[in-house]
Amino acid sequence: MAPTSIGLSKQAREQTAKHLNNLLADEFVLLMKTWSCHWNLKGPNFISLHELLDEQYHALVDFVDDIAERVRALDCVALRSLHDCHEHTRLKEMPSEGALPDEMGMIAGLLDDHETIIRELRTSHDNVEEYEHDVGSVSLMEDLIIKHEKMAWFLRAHLEK
Ligand SMILES: [Fe+2]
């Protein structure tokens, strides 16, 4: 097997991959929740919210792939299963039973998840920057913070009078 010689120690790469895999789990859960709201929401704003969430779940698919591929670029192993996602995520899954939230409840819930991810990203960013200045992972996290902040704004705007 060829050694990994990209100027980052195995320890630094593995520490960063832990942050990235936790983030990958969060993005997967948020992808599923966004998709579920896209399908299940009802109400007077159905078309505009259905379309907004269509855009957002497509963006989240790209985030999932970019994060997993970054883990592989560090020569570490990306999460393998939905079970792994469930184990690693910091987000709460959509309840399987009971009444669904109304449309604004769904938007507020998704906003809360984006904001949680943004806060986790800031913490991971600062930690990863210390691990031998892994600029590739830091730059990915900075890009994701900007994109999640914009997605959060688009959701928040629906909740403001
Ligand atoms: Fe759709």
Give the Å distance between the CA of 11 and the centre of ligand 1.
41
Per-residue confidence band for 1, with pLDDT thresholds at 50, 70 and 90: low
The yes or no reply on domain 10-91+101-159 and CATH 1.10.533.10 is no
pLDDT one-digit tens code per residue, 63-93: 999 999 999 999 999 999 999 999 999 999 9
Contacts of the segment 155-159: beta carbons below 8 A, 24+ positions apart? 155/52, 155/107, 155/110, 155/111, 155/114, 156/111, 158/45, 158/49, 158/104, 158/107, 159/104, 159/107, 159/108, 159/111
Give the Å distance between the CA of 51 and the centre of ligand 1.
8
Residue 15 in this model has a pLDDT that exceeds 80? yes
CA distances from 144 to 11, 36, 98, 129, 131 (A): 24, 22, 33, 15, 19
Percentage above 70 pLDDT, the chain: 99
Domain segments of the chain as ranges? 10-91+101-159
Give the Å distance between the CA of 54 and the centre of ligand 1.
6
**Which residues make Cβ contacts (< 8 Å) with residue 62, sequence separation at least 6?**
none
Q: What is the three-class DSSP state of 8?
A: coil
